[in-house]
Chain A
Amino acid sequence: MGKVFDPSLIIEFIPTLVKYLGVTLEILVASIILGTIIGIAAAIPKLFHIPILKQIVTLYISFIRGTPIIIQLFLVFYGLPAVLSLINIDITRMDALIFVIITYSLSNGAIFAEIFRGAISAVEFGQTEAAYSIGMTPFQNFTRIIFPQAIRVAFPNIANTVIGSLKDTSLAFTIGVMDMMGRGETIIAATAHALEVYIALSVIYYVVVLILEKGFKVFEKYTNRYQGTDASVA
């Protein structure tokens, strides 16, 4: 702070920061894929009303939705080594990136579990009955009848979660990950041009979000292709 604002530095910083976009996207993609797997696993006990597991999953979802991501980040960062040291596994030297990916996967998993459960319950039970009545197996029923209809309901929420998750990755630097934000902090420490760095970072995040939004819109249209014209409004 205290230095004169220099707009030309914004353009100068963008290429340096974009090099670290890969780390940000790596966190995003890994946590979305792992989060989907956790989400499916967590949605099953709720959909099939499995006792005990259902209560555990409810507690897990409630905790993730009730605490900020930054607290979850710190809990995993300090908690996981403590828990694993009880069974004599030492991970104190593990890359901070792994902790970040674990946290964001757990966080996305809870949100996905709710989205999947909601979307599958949104498909009428009559659809399942109809599928069984023409002799489909439960697996065929799920893959051919329920899933294609559920994904249409779930997709806008999934898209929002992915975009929200991208924005959340900007907090990974608090436990020392060298992503775009982390690199930005080092530039600030070196040049003291904080405002220019944050403007450059905002521009990069904004562009990535706009590209994601455009892509999701195309896919959303695809999932709605049999819905007539007014489905895009709903």
Chain B
Amino acid sequence: MVIDIPFIWVAFKEIAKAIPLTLVLAIVPVVIGFFIGLVVTFIREYKVKGIYSIANGYVSFFRGTPAIMHIMLVYFGIPMLLDSIINYFNLPYETNKIPIVLFVLFALSLTAGAYLSEIIRSGISSVAKGQMEAAYSIGMSTPQAMGRILLPQALAKSIPNFTNLSVGFLHTTSIAFLVSQKELTGTANIVASSNLKFLESFIAAGLIYWGISIIMEGIYYLVEKRVQQYSKGGVA
């Protein structure tokens, strides 16, 4: 087997068409997961009765099992659940008309929510306790103190973790090809098997992932610089 270098470029152009879907799969779950993470964090921080242990179990389970399980459980479980509800009420819907991409987005959002809640929690615990006390002492309410004092600082400190998570999720989207999504890995697989040039296609896909990862890290670096220009602590 000889490596066909010109074909890498042909594959590259073909696979690059899948970039938009990959970015949707990578970004939407992180955005939805961010809100899930915020809610879960507050439930866990304030130890809300009843749902507190559910929130703990959710984070622990989703961090303790591979993302492929979440996709598969949602992909096979949700249609079954919906079908039984539809049959029970005799509703005029069909679950097999739901696009698979929605299941992937749902599953990955749940995964992202669990990871983000841990990131936000560690960000909150890294803010000095005196900040909240100071906010209360000048008469702020809890939501005000949270929204204006605690969260901005906690989120700014979490940016390096957000970077790792976002790049990690870009890589997690590659699992979606197992449920026949035509994102980067899925397209690379199609290009590979229709031309019987596996190595070249996956080199092209690898280069695309690598490029997107570097761009993502660059964007976060700029955001981090912008956010932290007011917090000149330490020795710098």
Contact = CB atoms under 8 A, between A and B. Distances in A.
Interface of A: 1, 5, 62-63, 65-72, 74-75, 78-79, 81-82, 85, 167-168, 170-171, 174, 181, 194-195, 198-199, 201-202, 205-206, 209-210, 213, 233
A198 to B, nearest CB: 4
Interface in B200-221: 202-203, 205-206, 209-211, 213-214
A68 B209 contact: yes
A202 B203 CA distance: 32
Interface of B: 1-3, 60-61, 63-69, 72-73, 76-77, 79-80, 125, 167, 170-175, 177-178, 185, 188, 198-199, 202-203, 205-206, 209-211, 213-214
Contacts of B65: 167, 202, 205-206, 209
Contact of A205 (B64, B76, B206): B64
B177 to A, nearest CB: 8
Q: Which 9 A-B pairs have the closest CB atoms?
A: A68-B171, A66-B213, A68-B174, A66-B210, A167-B66, A209-B64, A170-B66, A78-B199, A195-B76
| Chief secondary structure at chain B's binding surface | helix
Contacts of A199: 73
B171 A205 contact: no
A80 to B, nearest CB: 10
Nearest to A77: B198
29 contacts: A62-B214, A63-B210, A65-B167, A66-B214, A67-B171, A67-B210, A68-B170, A68-B185, A68-B209, A69-B171, A71-B209, A74-B202, A75-B202, A78-B202, A82-B1, A82-B3, A170-B66, A170-B69, A171-B68, A174-B178, A195-B73, A195-B76, A198-B73, A205-B64, A205-B65, A205-B69, A210-B60, A210-B64, A213-B64
Contacts, number: 102
A168 B66 contact: yes
Given A62-B210, A66-B213, A202 B69 contact: yes
Nearest to A86: B2
Contact of B1 (A72, A85, A181, A233): A85
A78 B199 CA distance: 5
Contact of A71 (B60, B61, B172, B185): B185
Nearest to A73: B202
Contacts of A68: 170-174, 185, 209
B209 A67 contact: yes
Contacts of B177: 70
A198 B64 contact: no
Contacts of A66: 167, 209-211, 213-214
Nearest to A83: B3
A171 B203 CA distance: 19
A211 B48 CA distance: 28
Contacts of B125: 233
Contact of B174 (A5, A71, A202): A71
A70 B170 CA distance: 12
